[in-house]
Amino acid sequence: MIKLIAIDLDGTMYTSDHRITPSVRNALDAAIENDIQPVIVTGRGRRGAEYALDLLEKDFPYICSAGALLRSGKQGETIHSWTFHEHAEMLHVIDFTRKHGTGLIAEPAEKAPYWFGPDSMRDVMDPMTVKEAYRSQRTFQPEIDFDQPLLKVTIAASPELLLEAEKVVRKRCPSIHLVFSGIQYIDLTADGANKGSALSALADYLHLRSKEIAAIGDQGIDLQMLHYAGLPIAMANAVPALKDIAHWIAPSNDEDGVAWAITEIIRQNKLGWPNNPEKNNNIRTSNVI
């Protein structure tokens, strides 16, 4: 039986224009009514996760900052955080940003995020990230302001420059974990900090087994989360790597895929799961009973 569903935001719960549809809202209500705990899991920072909870008018657990922060709820406690302080390595990232006019959003453990980059970056970033960047503390001296424990640093750049930034990080920053969170973003976190390790920590906190957990996402940043979950679900708009490991393929984020997945989980919970999600890796939307 599935008791928890971990749900990515961008490209999954959010539509392409960053809305949460009434069908998804109703499905989340139904999940709670049927003793299934929804959990938001996002690469965005704490403000981004709590913004989604405000939209939903709900308060439940969330994982944010690409898996570096785990909280029991907006009004709850921090269950765990994974920070890194590899300043000598980060100086290479800062140098790349200065040379190429890309952007950086750094999230300290206890302070508001910092934004470093030119105003022209708003033409590269999506509207929600632009808003988050310009609500952050603007810094012109990241060499000083980034010299502290950080939950996450996001590199924002055009796809072409992002590939160049990836080369710098992989060569110069061996202690920092790198993951693409979109075609224009790379997230940097502590080694071992990702959505999957955070979901595992939440499962321990709630005394759940992985086979009692479903996870749904669309990007490479969701891979570890889907690998951990007993029921991994990819959106129809997901990258191929996610679809390859998914048990189910849900409709796209513009077709209420999250609502479909929750409804199907509730139905199969009631049926007793004749298709065991822990063993059957070939379940797809076309043949779910």
- What are 23-32's pLDDT values in tens digits? 999 999 999 9
Q: Return the DSSP state at 266.
A: H
Angle at the Cα of 227 from the Cα atoms of 177 and 241, rounded to 5 degrees: 80
Binned at pLDDT 50, 70 and 90, residue 110 comes out as: confident
Predicted local confidence at residue 283, as pLDDT: 45
**Residue 181 Cα distances to 148, 203, 220, 234, 256, angstroms:** 23, 23, 7, 15, 21
Rounded to an integer, what distance in angstroms lies between the CA atom of residue 231 and that of residue 269?
A: 12
- What are 191-201's pLDDT values in tens digits? 999 999 999 99
Question: Which tokens is 114 given?
Answer: 């910092």
Predicted local confidence at residue 55, as pLDDT: 95
Of 51, 211, 215, give the one whose Cα is nearest residue 127: 51
- What are 214-260's pLDDT values in tens digits? 999 999 999 999 999 999 999 999 999 999 999 999 999 999 999 99
Q: Is the pLDDT of residue 287 over 70?
A: no
Predicted local confidence at residue 183, as pLDDT: 87
What amino acid is encoded at 19 in this protein?
A: R
Strand partners, 232: 215
Percent of the chain residues topping a pLDDT of 90: 84
Question: Which tokens is 143 given?
Answer: 């060499």
Contacts of 263 (CB under 8 A, 6+ apart): 27, 30
Rounded to an integer, what distance in angstroms lies between the CA atom of residue 197 and that of residue 228?
A: 8
Cα radius of gyration (the chain): 19
Q: Among 51-60, 62-71, 114-123, where is mean pLDDT lowest? A: 114-123
**Is this structure's pTM higher than 0.85?**
yes
Arithmetic mean of pLDDT over the chain: 92
Predicted local confidence at residue 289, as pLDDT: 32
Angle at the Cα of 53 from the Cα atoms of 213 and 148, rounded to 5 degrees: 90
Predicted local confidence at residue 127, as pLDDT: 82
Identify the residue whose tokens are 């973003």: 185
Q: Is the pLDDT of residue 210 over 70?
A: yes
Predicted local confidence at residue 89, as pLDDT: 97
Predicted local confidence at residue 274, as pLDDT: 62
**Residue 57 Cα distances to 19, 51, 53, 94, angstroms:** 14, 10, 6, 38
Percent of the chain residues topping a pLDDT of 70: 94
Domains for the chain: give ranges and CATH numbers.
4-81+194-271 (3.40.50.1000), 87-190 (3.30.1240.10)
Q: What is the largest CA-CA distance in the chain?
A: 58
Predicted local confidence at residue 275, as pLDDT: 53
- What are 90-101's pLDDT values in tens digits? 999 999 999 999
